[in-house]
Amino acid sequence: MTNNLIRKYNVPGPRYTSYPTVPYWDQESFSPAAWNKSLLRSFKDNKNISLYIHLPFCESLCTFCGCNKRITKKHSVESPYINNLIKEWDMYLELLGEKPIIREVHLGGGTPTFFAPQNLQLLLETLFSKAEKHPNAELSFEGHPNNTTKEHLTSLANLGFNRVSYGVQDYNEKVQKAIHRIQPFANVKRATDEARQTGFDSVGHDIIFGLPFQNKDHIVESIEKTKQLMPDRIAFYSYAHVPWIKGNGQRGFKEADLPTASEKRDMYETGKQMLEEAGYVEIGMDHFALKSDSLYKAMEQKELHRNFMGYTTSSKTSMIGLGVSAISDSWFGFAQNEKTVEAYEAKIAEGVIPVVKGHILNEEDLTIRKHILNIMCNLETSWETPENYFKELPEVLMSLKEMEEDGLLTFLDHGLKVLEAGRPFVRNICMAFDLKMKANKPDTQLFSMTV
């Protein structure tokens, strides 16, 4: 990849975990009642659901983090928060009117393993007792290598959890100090080994490139150590530097401490080559998996899906988000919960689902969403059938001509395919389809850079 292409296409852009993206949701036409209606519409056709549970508490602040979190060492917050999650679940069950089938659960945060194993067990047993669990349910959680204990793993495995992802980020001590995330390789190895010993059949590691003080040698070191453990999945993604959105958390270092766009891309290409030589296959954008992993199999069968949990194998289920800032997706609509613990608790106390904003998709939104999902998941899309055509498509295709000339994509008879050289710019290709963003140019930067 040439530096000219990097300079040309390194612009702010979404990661497309949804379309429309959150900043362009239509608040005027949205209401909690409209969201409820969209969820019931989806549930009527498919009783399977995915659950995302946001557990926001962390004992210390990682300065690279863009998640919604609450820093505290007071573990007395655990029980009240769990009680509110259960009350929110009860409200959704009352809305649905019959038992859903839980196809997927993901515990995110924050730090889910901030919670004591017995409290996580209480929460999950209560949720499961009020629904059916699919026999092939995929249950996963995000673990911190420093505080994920054998007891955590055993409790969750006994409940059917089979996948864990550990945030590794980088093994270099200077980088770890800059991002306030000190975790020796020994801790990651222990957490990985114990997950496998406990029965988890998919262990993932997250590695970030573009962190402060990071260089290519650090990436080589991190991936060499990762290869010693051979996790089933690896998320190898670019640090999203958005301090104007995330506040002081991402200001623990100077802009000058960050690598340049070309240095970042060199890190990625180096890491990608090392991972592929080790037997990993690139899945969608910035994700890698061994051929034995379900994510690879979903890609092969073109059943890969992308939502607010990232890449997933469950494409035909509604996703209900429980907890602070959690986002739900019925396919026909999105809804996000209150973003602070206090506001969330207040809504629960009122006996209402704690939704604060969202978007109901119109027919054009649904069509464009399909194209963006196809590109993000399959690196191709088609508008051969009438339901995949929209009136602005000719303009979209004209705007992609330059990318075709740059060798990033190729046009088919009634579709397009992203070429290998275009993989780093898949977000840019999707942006050509993003009519909401084109129609509403913001005054300030909303997204991280695409390269």
- Per-residue pLDDT tens over the stretch 50-85: 999 999 999 888 888 878 899 999 999 999 999 999
Q: In CATH, what number is assigned to the domain containing residue 394?
A: 1.10.10.920
Q: 102 and 183 in one domain?
A: yes
pLDDT of residue 444: 60
Tell me the C-alpha distance between 195 and 64, whole Å. Answer: 26
Is the predicted pLDDT of residue 250 greater than 50, yes or no?
no
For residue 446, being part of any structural domain is answered with: no
Q: Tell me how far the alpha carbon of residue 401 is from its chain's centroid.
A: 30
Q: 407 and 296 in one domain?
A: no
Domain of 226, in residue numbers = 17-322
Residue where a domain stops, chosen among 298, 322, 346: 322
For residue 354, being part of any structural domain is answered with: no
Average the pLDDT over 313-342 and give the result.
93
For residue 260, being part of any structural domain is answered with: yes
Tell me the C-alpha distance between 298 and 283, whole Å. Answer: 10
Q: 312 and 239 in one domain?
A: yes
- 178, 252 in Cβ contact below 8 A? yes
Half-sphere exposure of 225 (CA within 13 A, CB side): 20
Tell me the C-alpha distance between 204 and 75, whole Å. Answer: 27
Amino acid letter for position 410: T
Is the predicted pLDDT of residue 1 greater than 70, yes or no?
no
Instruction: Please give the annotated binding residues for S-adenosyl-L-methionine, written as ranges.
Output: 52, 64-66, 109-111, 142, 169, 181, 206, 240, 327
Average the pLDDT over 15-33 and give the result.
93
Q: 367 and 308 in one domain?
A: no
Tell me the C-alpha distance between 378 and 302, whole Å. Answer: 7
Lowest mean pLDDT among 64-73, 135-144, 167-176, 280-289: 64-73
Is the predicted pLDDT of residue 141 greater than 90, yes or no?
yes
Instruction: Please give the annotated binding residues, written as ranges.
Output: 52, 58, 62, 64-66, 109-111, 142, 169, 181, 206, 240, 327
| Tokens read off for 106 | 């993901």
For residue 161, being part of any structural domain is answered with: yes
* Residues 6 or more apart whose Cβ sits within 8 Å of residue 340: 324
Q: 26 and 174 in one domain?
A: yes
Handedness of CA 210, 213, 217, 221 (dihedral sign): negative
CB atoms within 10 A of CB 302: 11
Q: 425 and 287 in one domain?
A: no
Tell me the C-alpha distance between 418 and 433, whole Å. Answer: 14
| Tokens read off for 172 | 């270099």
Tell me the C-alpha distance between 399 and 430, whole Å. Answer: 11
For residue 340, being part of any structural domain is answered with: no
Residue where a domain stops, chosen among 322, 347, 376: 322
Q: Report which of 127, 107, 104 is spatially closest to residue 55, judged by C-alpha positions.
A: 107
Q: 377 and 283 in one domain?
A: no
Tell me the C-alpha distance between 445 and 447, whole Å. Answer: 6
Lowest mean pLDDT among 171-175, 189-193, 235-239, 414-418: 235-239
Q: 383 and 318 in one domain?
A: no
- 360, 60 in Cβ contact below 8 A? no
Tell me the C-alpha distance between 260 and 62, whole Å. Answer: 21
Average the pLDDT over 17-29 and give the result.
92
For residue 421, being part of any structural domain is answered with: yes
Residue matched to tokens 């506001």 = 343
Tell me the C-alpha distance between 29 and 361, whole Å. Answer: 10
- 248, 296 in Cβ contact below 8 A? no
Amino acid letter for position 177: K
For residue 330, being part of any structural domain is answered with: no
pLDDT of residue 63: 82
Q: 182 and 58 in one domain?
A: yes
Instruction: Please give the annotated binding residues for [4Fe-4S] cluster, written as ranges.
Output: 58, 62, 65
For residue 444, being part of any structural domain is answered with: no
Is the predicted pLDDT of residue 246 greater than 50, yes or no?
no
pLDDT of residue 242: 62
Q: Give the chain's end-to-end CA distance (angstroms, integer).
A: 11
Q: 201 and 105 in one domain?
A: yes
Handedness of CA 71, 74, 79, 80 (dihedral sign): negative
Q: In CATH, what number is assigned to the domain containing residue 296?
A: 3.80.30.20
446 confidence band (pLDDT: 50, 70, 90): low
Q: 185 and 71 in one domain?
A: yes
pLDDT of residue 10: 84
Is the predicted pLDDT of residue 406 greater than 80, yes or no?
yes
Residue 256 is given by DSSP the state G
Half-sphere exposure of 152 (CA within 13 A, CB side): 23
pLDDT of residue 435: 96
Q: 189 and 53 in one domain?
A: yes
248 confidence band (pLDDT: 50, 70, 90): very low
SS3 410: strand
Lowest mean pLDDT among 143-152, 281-290, 311-320: 311-320
Count of domains forming the chain = 2
Residue where a domain stops, chosen among 322, 352, 380: 322
Mean pLDDT of the chain: 92
